[in-house]
Amino acid sequence: MRKRLRRNKSKKLWWLLLLAGVLTGLLFVVLPNKLKPFETLPVVEVEVTEKQLTWFPTRNFAEQDRRIMDYVVSSVLHFEGSTHDKYDPGGTTKYGISEKNYRMLSINSITWEKAREIYIQNYYIPMRLYEFNSVQLQKSILHMAVLFGKGTAKQIIAQHYDWEELKRLSDADPKIHDVLVKLRKTFKKHAKSLNNPRYIKGWVSRINYAFYSAE
């Protein structure tokens, strides 16, 4: 009788171990195929007033999304450059980061990396540009948001297009060319309406650069 009980316990233990092994194997085989690799964006660590910066939680990006984001943000940084403009109404400005809007930062010592983080945290993420299928639209809208302000850029775009509908357009969509042409003309019209002879030439040049594929 005791031998039979021991034999039954051994069988139960063997089946439990077998089941545990099967479940463990499934975890290692199935889950990695379901998960996409991602990287965590760095959080900007600068001391500024609440009005000047709006903090958003760190967002996880798939590798492809991160590469697109880097391209779009780098496009702005390349255009802005590291030169200083003493006539800029925003005060000392470097990489497009102005003393007026970021009073607690040492503008002269801002690095490319720090400027990149600011653009990600205060433009790219809050505007949810990563939701746009078109990389060209991501780039164009970011340039216009940096140039004229996020709110103004969205208002100008809303004159002709629904924000959510634009998100669904891809760079391969036949409609994208006409969209870019119309937006380019609309932003040029806005720039000229500001009646600023010192900067109008640079603004128009930047608008052409931002919407280059519409040429």
**Predicted confidence band at 100 (pLDDT cuts at 50, 70, 90)?**
confident
Q: Given a cut of 80, is residue 52 above it in pLDDT?
A: no
Evaluate whether the domain defined by 59-214 bears CATH number 3.40.50.2000: no
**Predicted confidence band at 109 (pLDDT cuts at 50, 70, 90)?**
confident
Task: Domain ranges for the chain, please list them.
Answer: 59-214
Q: Given a cut of 70, is residue 16 above it in pLDDT?
A: no
Q: Given a cut of 90, is residue 150 above it in pLDDT?
A: yes
3-state secondary structure the chain: CHHHHHHHHHHHHHHHHHHHHHHHHHHHHHHHHHCCCEEECCCCCCCCCCCCCCCCCCCEEEHHHHHHHHHHHHHHHHHHCCCCCCCCCCCCEECCEECCCCCCCCHHHCCHHHHHHHHHHHHHCCCCHHHCCCHHHHHHHHHHHHHHCHHHHHHHHHCCCCHHHHHHCCCCCCCHHHHHHHHHHHHHHHHHHCCCCCCHHHHHHHHHHHCHHHC
**Predicted confidence band at 177 (pLDDT cuts at 50, 70, 90)?**
very high
Q: Given a cut of 90, is residue 25 above it in pLDDT?
A: no
Q: Given a cut of 90, is residue 98 above it in pLDDT?
A: no
Mean pLDDT of 107-124: 90
